[in-house]
Protein backbone atom coordinates (compact mmCIF):
# COMPACT_ATOMS: atom_id res chain seq x y z
CA UNK A 1 0.00 0.00 0.00
CA UNK A 2 2.91 2.36 0.66
CA UNK A 3 3.63 2.86 -3.03
CA UNK A 4 0.07 2.93 -4.39
CA UNK A 5 -0.78 5.64 -6.89
CA UNK A 6 -4.32 6.14 -5.54
CA UNK A 7 -5.78 6.03 -2.05
CA UNK A 8 -7.08 2.64 -1.00
CA UNK A 9 -9.02 1.96 2.18
CA UNK A 10 -8.85 -1.50 3.74
CA UNK A 11 -10.85 -2.63 6.74
CA UNK A 12 -9.76 -5.41 9.06
CA UNK A 13 -12.82 -6.94 10.68
CA UNK A 14 -12.15 -8.61 14.04
CA UNK A 15 -14.15 -10.92 16.26
CA UNK A 16 -14.61 -10.47 20.01
CA UNK A 17 -11.20 -12.05 20.66
CA UNK A 18 -9.55 -9.71 18.13
CA UNK A 19 -9.05 -12.50 15.62
CA UNK A 20 -9.21 -11.52 11.97
CA UNK A 21 -12.56 -12.28 10.33
CA UNK A 22 -11.88 -10.49 7.07
CA UNK A 23 -9.38 -8.13 5.43
CA UNK A 24 -11.25 -6.21 2.74
CA UNK A 25 -10.47 -3.50 0.25
CA UNK A 26 -13.53 -1.31 0.74
CA UNK A 27 -12.80 1.76 -1.40
CA UNK A 28 -10.40 3.09 -4.00
CA UNK A 29 -10.10 6.77 -4.67
CA UNK A 30 -7.86 9.32 -6.34
CA UNK A 31 -4.37 10.56 -5.63
CA UNK A 32 -5.49 12.49 -2.58
CA UNK A 33 -8.83 11.17 -1.37
CA UNK A 34 -11.13 8.19 -1.14
CA UNK A 35 -14.83 8.33 -0.39
CA UNK A 36 -15.61 6.34 2.74
CA UNK A 37 -19.26 5.68 3.52
CA UNK A 38 -19.85 5.13 7.24
CA UNK A 39 -23.21 3.48 6.62
CA UNK A 40 -21.69 0.90 4.24
CA UNK A 41 -18.83 0.24 6.61
CA UNK A 42 -21.19 -0.42 9.53
CA UNK A 43 -23.48 -2.54 7.34
CA UNK A 44 -20.54 -4.73 6.35
CA UNK A 45 -19.39 -4.98 9.95
CA UNK A 46 -22.84 -6.17 11.00
CA UNK A 47 -22.99 -8.69 8.14
CA UNK A 48 -19.68 -10.21 9.24
CA UNK A 49 -20.45 -10.08 12.95
CA UNK A 50 -17.50 -7.77 13.60
CA UNK A 51 -16.79 -6.77 17.18
CA UNK A 52 -14.01 -4.40 16.18
CA UNK A 53 -12.38 -2.76 13.17
CA UNK A 54 -8.96 -1.56 12.18
CA UNK A 55 -8.97 0.92 9.31
CA UNK A 56 -5.94 1.12 7.04
CA UNK A 57 -5.39 3.48 4.14
CA UNK A 58 -2.48 4.86 2.19
CA UNK A 59 -1.36 8.35 1.29
CA UNK A 60 0.10 8.30 -2.24
CA UNK A 61 1.99 11.49 -1.37
CA UNK A 62 4.22 9.32 0.82
CA UNK A 63 3.53 11.33 4.00
CA UNK A 64 1.70 9.13 6.52
CA UNK A 65 0.60 12.06 8.70
CA UNK A 66 -3.16 11.84 9.27
CA UNK A 67 -5.16 14.69 7.77
CA UNK A 68 -7.93 16.55 9.59
CA UNK A 69 -10.32 14.61 7.34
CA UNK A 70 -8.77 11.29 8.42
CA UNK A 71 -9.18 12.20 12.08
CA UNK A 72 -12.76 13.44 11.70
CA UNK A 73 -13.81 10.39 9.68
CA UNK A 74 -12.26 8.01 12.21
CA UNK A 75 -14.14 9.67 15.03
CA UNK A 76 -17.37 9.54 13.02
CA UNK A 77 -16.92 5.82 12.39
CA UNK A 78 -16.14 5.17 16.07
CA UNK A 79 -19.25 7.09 17.10
CA UNK A 80 -21.43 5.17 14.63
CA UNK A 81 -20.04 1.81 15.72
CA UNK A 82 -20.38 2.30 19.46
CA UNK A 83 -24.15 1.68 19.78
CA UNK A 84 -23.79 -1.29 17.39
CA UNK A 85 -21.10 -2.90 19.54
CA UNK A 86 -18.40 -2.36 16.91
CA UNK A 87 -15.23 -0.76 18.29
CA UNK A 88 -12.60 1.03 16.23
CA UNK A 89 -9.25 -0.17 17.55
CA UNK A 90 -7.12 1.93 15.23
CA UNK A 91 -6.75 3.74 11.94
CA UNK A 92 -3.34 3.28 10.36
CA UNK A 93 -2.15 5.57 7.59
CA UNK A 94 0.55 4.12 5.34
CA UNK A 95 3.04 6.23 3.39
CA UNK A 96 6.28 5.51 1.60
CA UNK A 97 8.15 7.09 4.53
CA UNK A 98 6.45 4.97 7.21
CA UNK A 99 3.10 4.72 8.93
CA UNK A 100 1.04 6.55 11.54
CA UNK A 101 -1.41 5.09 14.04
CA UNK A 102 -4.20 7.43 15.09
CA UNK A 103 -4.49 5.42 18.34
CA UNK A 104 -0.78 5.80 19.13
CA UNK A 105 -1.00 9.52 18.36
CA UNK A 106 -3.88 9.85 20.85
CA UNK A 107 -6.31 10.97 18.14
CA UNK A 108 -8.94 8.27 18.89
> What average pLDDT does the structure give for the chain?
92
> The domain containing residue 53 runs over which residues?
8-101
Residue 68: its H or E element: helix 68-81
Tell me which H or E stretch contains 93: strand 87-95
Classify residue 2: in a domain, yes or no.
Answer: no
| pLDDT (tens digit per residue) in 21-74 | 999 998 876 666 667 889 999 999 999 999 999 999 999 999 999 999 999 999
- Residue 60 C-alpha from the chain's centroid: 16
Q: What is the pTM of this model?
A: 0.88
- Tell me if 51 sits within 8 A of 88, measured CB to CB: no
Is 87 a member of any domain? yes
CA of 40: how far to CAs of 3, 23, 69, 71, in Å?
26, 15, 18, 19
CATH number of the domain enclosing 41: 3.40.140.10
The answer to whether position 45 is within a domain reads yes
Amino acid sequence: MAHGLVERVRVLHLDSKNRLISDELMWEGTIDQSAVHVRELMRRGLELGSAALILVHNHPSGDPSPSRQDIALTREIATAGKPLGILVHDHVVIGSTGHASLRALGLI
